[in-house]
Chains A and B, each alone.
Chain A
Amino acid sequence: MPAAGAAFTSDLSVSGFALCNNLGLRPIHQVMGSSIYQIGYQGSTWPMMMGGTILTELDTLSQAWNEVRGNALGRLAQEARELGAHAVVGVQLRIGSHDWAEGSIEYVVLGTAVHREGADPTAEPILTELSVNDYMKLVQAGMEPAGIAAWSSVFFAAYSFNAVLGMSGGRGQMSSLLGAPAYNYELEEFTQAFYSAREQAMARMGAQAQSLGASGIVGVRIEHSARRHTIGSSSLGGGERSGLVVEFHAIGTAIKETAGAKLWPPETTIDLTS
């Protein structure tokens, strides 16, 4: 917490800093929020029937990701509130891990807290990944950032018969005498599993934006990863099923309209620099 009259700190670019004046923004201090979180283990009772549903959400893992991000962003907002800031711009989300804390993730968020002239002093600070430059363009078009909309969903997708068949040849782990089929086919169950997992993460991100009073989300990124996993069934004879653990993280910048959009055509130029 800087003392009164102390120098401000910021990671703004010079052009961003120059535009602050135009927007009535004043940088106060760099702020941070972080959380190291151990991701729990989820055992699952898996319905042992073939051909049944093959997608199940691992809600303990989904919750872990959403909570660690929520914690970090909450602490960032807390720091900003204590500084009397109205917004945090240029928020960066970083995910790291440390080898001395196995099975855990560190979520770090960084940004520059800014004071906005004429803004309601009691309002919650608005967090945004946007740079001051992008902020400026939005404001000129009659819009402003509303917050960060993000959601993570973790799913377990069990191998279907078709997938096992496809893996049985080549250098795959499950080599069999049969070999993989030579013809092309779509793995429909797997397509559906991945597809709906992605859609769910996107829908919940949308719901978050709605709760921020946003009219839309720009700059959406959807990251995903998949790894092999075997889930043991804790009941009924203890069978197990192999499949994939798939993580989807959807993150975007929620924006809202403040006035009627007033957009003018940009001027076209030709760059002679290079």
Chain B
Amino acid sequence: MSKGERETDTPGYDPTSLEGVPEAGRARLEQNRAGLFTSDLSVNEFLLIKQAGFDPLGLVVGSSIYHIGIQVSGWKKSQEMTVLSEAMYGARQLAMTRMEEEADQLGADGIVGVRLDIGRYEWGQDMAEFIAIGTAVKHREGVLHRAPNGRPFTSDLSGQDFWTLLRTGHRPVGMVMGSCVYHVAHRGMLQSMAQTGRNVELSNFTQALYDARELAMERMQSEAQEIGAEGIVGVDLQEKSHGWGSHTIEFFAVGTAIMPREGHDEKIEAPTPVLDLS
């Protein structure tokens, strides 16, 4: 999948648009605007975000139920399943964009504690619900903390990590992700017979998984570069087969891109060593 192709998949982002956000969602956002905040933060996270100078505004959600297409690969061929890669990436992107639009409606600076879930239901094996959920926050003194492209920042960091990151003079700019669904070739009959009972590296398997992982990580990295990040923290590399059979695997890399905070070049003070005696 080239970069150009991917961009056509990416849903357009319009801060004033609520396309895809249902009526009931708008009513709920109204409630949040009127002063009641909701969040899935724990008490510890909530207090640390307050301490960091941010106020939670409301729980924001984005969702997309998606039919994942079908692609057939040759039995003995290692290749990327581009239709599946695009589906897994595009559907998450739809959910994330809707969540960001909800946050924008609340006038948020960004979203912390984002979770990306894939809900599978027994009623449709090719269908999945992609859900993005997080807590929209706003800086108390009104210092703008949005990403350089004007969208609310997103981050999958916990409240604890968010507090610590800000104290190091950095701030999150956006969650970046890369997906690659890969079909790993089966071994031929002769090859597996020749390898029976021996110590041998299965180099075609190694190579296939290596390639797929690299592709996912590289896509994540180029996303971070595009939004002008300094680096990525907390990368989570997931490997999962979403019911495509054992030889087709999704590699999904997700992390939080960060950048320096203007006017904050502090470093975190040396932590006190403690020994927990419990």
Interface string of B67-83 (1 = CB under 8 A from A): 11111000000000001
- Check B185 for interface membership: any CB of A closer than 8 A: no
Which of the segments A29-37, A175-183, A230-238 contacts the partner chain? A175-183
Judge whether A166 and B126 touch: CB under 8 Å: yes
- Check B90 for interface membership: any CB of A closer than 8 A: yes
Interface string of B24-55 (1 = CB under 8 A from A): 11011001100111111111101110110000
Judge whether A171 and B272 touch: CB under 8 Å: no
Q: Which residue of B lies closest to A133 (CB)?
A: B43
When A and B form their complex, which 8 residue pairs have the shortest distance between CB atoms, in order from nearest? A196-B22, A203-B28, A199-B24, A216-B37, A199-B25, A134-B43, A184-B87, A270-B271
Chain B hits for A218, CB < 8 A: 39-43, 46
- Check B136 for interface membership: any CB of A closer than 8 A: no
Chain B hits for A202, CB < 8 A: 28, 38, 59, 61
- Check A120 for interface membership: any CB of B closer than 8 A: no
Q: Given A184-B90, A216-B39, do A166 and B70 touch, yes or no (CB 8 Å)?
A: no
- Say how far B167's CB is from chain A's closest CB, in angstroms: 8
Interface string of A150-161 (1 = CB under 8 A from B): 000000000000
Binding site for A on B (CB under 8 A): 20-25, 27-28, 31-32, 35-44, 46-48, 50-51, 56, 59, 61, 63-71, 83, 86-87, 90-91, 94, 98, 119, 121-127, 129, 133, 163-164, 268-269, 271-276
Within 8 A of B (CB), among A119-173: 130, 134, 137-138, 141, 162-163, 166-167, 169-172
Subset of 12 A-B contacts with CB under 8 Å: A134-B43, A191-B129, A197-B24, A198-B61, A199-B24, A202-B59, A216-B38, A219-B39, A253-B43, A264-B51, A271-B276, A272-B273
Q: Mostly helix, strand, loop or mixed at chain A's interface? A: mixed
- Check A18 for interface membership: any CB of B closer than 8 A: no
Chain A hits for B51, CB < 8 A: 263-266
How many residues from A make CB contacts under 8 Å with B?
66
Q: Given A184-B66, A187-B65, A202-B28, do A163 and B276 touch, yes or no (CB 8 Å)?
A: no
Judge whether B69 and A182 touch: CB under 8 Å: yes
